[in-house]
């Protein structure tokens, strides 16, 4: 019994700094957000006042936010709907483009697999801002995109002037490498013998794919979609760089905008907690799913 305790003591000492760090700089900060969300506003200086005792919590921020979200004069409601639509389209496009590429590299790249992998992984190593800057260069009024269009006789388009297409395209471009990497890892794990067996039993290419490969890639598809959807929902920069217009703003822009605005910071806190609440279930699902798959793999 004492031996067990002594043994634990060594490991507790090892884990303690990390545990303390997470407590102070991960759990406490979220309590701070809650204290501000449920807190009051200093009317004189327009700064949020955190209320630490749950008994004294006020609901004024929550009421303000719910008024913004629903009802006749709500301005945040349409932004939420727009965000969901943008993210859904972008995630779907990521999957439609990413799956064939990941499938090809996992199954058919053969000896050239390392080359393809390097090329697939490269965007992962390039700063997101640099990748967006590249598109700003291409899409600006005198950029190559418009030059190409005028070359085939189409008049130039103001791509960066608040176009949904540009923002969705930017989201797809930005997050697809993460999805492809997850899909590749999942597809690579499928035993080729299963596919051979399907073929030997007389299935054609397409039937083999739909009866064997696709069902077996359900898990990577789900986790891959999550790994792209979660950051997209907190994205404010893609949209800001590629459009900057209010007509394309998303939840991320709303929260980030309220963060620097006197008097609105409390509402920003409420919104970010609401977003967290909505995403908590998919996040936990992701954690459990990846845990399970890594146990199966090892």
Partner 1 sequence: MTAATAPRGAARPMSRWNPRNPWRHPWFLEGFTWLYLIWSLVPIAIAVLFSFNKGRSQATYQGLSWHWYFWDKTNSVLHNPQLHAAVIQTVRLSVLTTLIAVPLGVAFALGINRWRGPVPSTFNFVMILSFVIPELIFGVAMFFVFTVLFTSVHLGTLAEVLGLVTWNVSWPAIIVQARLVTLGRQYEEAAADLGANRFQALRRVMLPLLAPAIFASAVLVFSGVIDDFVIVDLLSSNAGNTPMSVIIYSTQHGGNSGPALNALGTIMLVMSFVIAIIGYLGYRFLTRGERGSRIEALTTIAGSEG
Spatial CA neighbour of 94 closest among 170, 29, 163? 170
Q: How far is CA 57 from the centre of its chain?
A: 32
Q: Residue 75 or residue 144: which is nearer to partner 1 going by CB?
A: 144
Reading the block at residue 264, the tokens are: 């609105």
Smallest gap from Cβ 152 to partner 1, in A, equals 18
Residues 270, 62 contacting (CB under 8 angstroms): yes
Smallest gap from Cβ 85 to partner 1, in A, equals 18
Residues 142, 162 contacting (CB under 8 angstroms): no
The C-alpha angle with vertex 75 and arms to 74 and 80, in degrees rounded to 5, equals 105
Smallest gap from Cβ 236 to partner 1, in A, equals 7
Q: How large is the greatest C-alpha to C-alpha distance in the chain, in angstroms?
A: 83
Residues 69, 76 contacting (CB under 8 angstroms): yes
Spatial CA neighbour of 56 closest among 40, 32, 33? 40
Q: Residue 71 or residue 297: which is nearer to partner 1 going by CB?
A: 297
Smallest gap from Cβ 216 to partner 1, in A, equals 12
Smallest gap from Cβ 59 to partner 1, in A, equals 18
Residues 65, 270 contacting (CB under 8 angstroms): yes
Q: Residue 143 or residue 263: which is nearer to partner 1 going by CB?
A: 143
Q: Residue 39 or residue 73: which is nearer to partner 1 going by CB?
A: 39
Match 């909505």 to its residue by tokens: 278
Smallest gap from Cβ 1 to partner 1, in A, equals 13
Smallest gap from Cβ 181 to partner 1, in A, equals 5
Q: Residue 30 or residue 75: which is nearer to partner 1 going by CB?
A: 30
Say which residues have a Cβ less than 8 Å from residue 92's Cβ, sequence separation at least 6. Answer: none
Q: Residue 70 or residue 126: which is nearer to partner 1 going by CB?
A: 126
Smallest gap from Cβ 44 to partner 1, in A, equals 16
User: How far is 226 from 64, CA to CA, in rounded Å?
Assistant: 30
Sequential DSSP letters for 21-82: HHIIIIIHHHHHHHHHHTSEEETTTTEEE---SGGG---HHHHHHHHHHSSTT-SHHHHHHH
Say which residues have a Cβ less than 8 Å from residue 262's Cβ, sequence separation at least 6. Answer: 45, 46, 47
Q: Residue 119 or residue 165: which is nearer to partner 1 going by CB?
A: 119
Q: Residue 114 or residue 152: which is nearer to partner 1 going by CB?
A: 114
């Amino acid at each position: 019994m004492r031996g067990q305790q002594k043994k634990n003591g060594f490991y507790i000492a090892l884990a303690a700094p990390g545990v303390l760090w997470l407590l102070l700089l991960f759990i406490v900060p979220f309590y701070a957000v809650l204290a501000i969300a449920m807190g009051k506003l200093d009317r004189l200086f327009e700064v949020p006042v955190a209320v630490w005792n749950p008994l004294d919590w006020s609901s004024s921020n929550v009421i303000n936010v719910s008024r913004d979200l629903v009802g006749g004069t709500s301005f945040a409601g349409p932004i939420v709907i727009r965000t969901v639509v943008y993210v859904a389209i972008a995630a779907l496009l990521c999957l439609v483009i990413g799956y064939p590429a990941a499938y090809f590299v996992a199954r058919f790249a053969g000896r050239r697999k390392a080359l393809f992998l390097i090329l697939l992984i490269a965007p992962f190593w390039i700063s997101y801002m640099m990748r967006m800057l590249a598109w700003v260069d291409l899409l600006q009024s005198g950029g190559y995109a418009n030059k190409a269009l005028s070359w085939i006789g189409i008049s130039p388009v103001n791509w960066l002037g608040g176009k949904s297409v540009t923002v969705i395209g930017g989201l797809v471009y930005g997050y697809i490498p993460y999805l492809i990497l997850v899909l590749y890892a999942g597809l690579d794990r499928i035993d080729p013998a299963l596919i051979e067996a399907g073929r030997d039993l007389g299935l054609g290419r397409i039937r083999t794919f739909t009866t064997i490969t696709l069902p077996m890639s359900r898990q990577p598809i789900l986790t891959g979609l999550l790994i792209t959807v979660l950051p997209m929902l907190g994205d404010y920069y893609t949209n800001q760089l590629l459009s900057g217009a209010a007509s394309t703003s998303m939840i991320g822009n709303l929260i980030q905008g309220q963060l620097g605005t006197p008097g609105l910071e409390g509402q920003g806190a409420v919104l970010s907690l609401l977003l967290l609440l909505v995403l908590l279930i998919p996040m936990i699902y992701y954690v459990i799913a990846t845990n399970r798959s890594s146990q199966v793999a090892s």
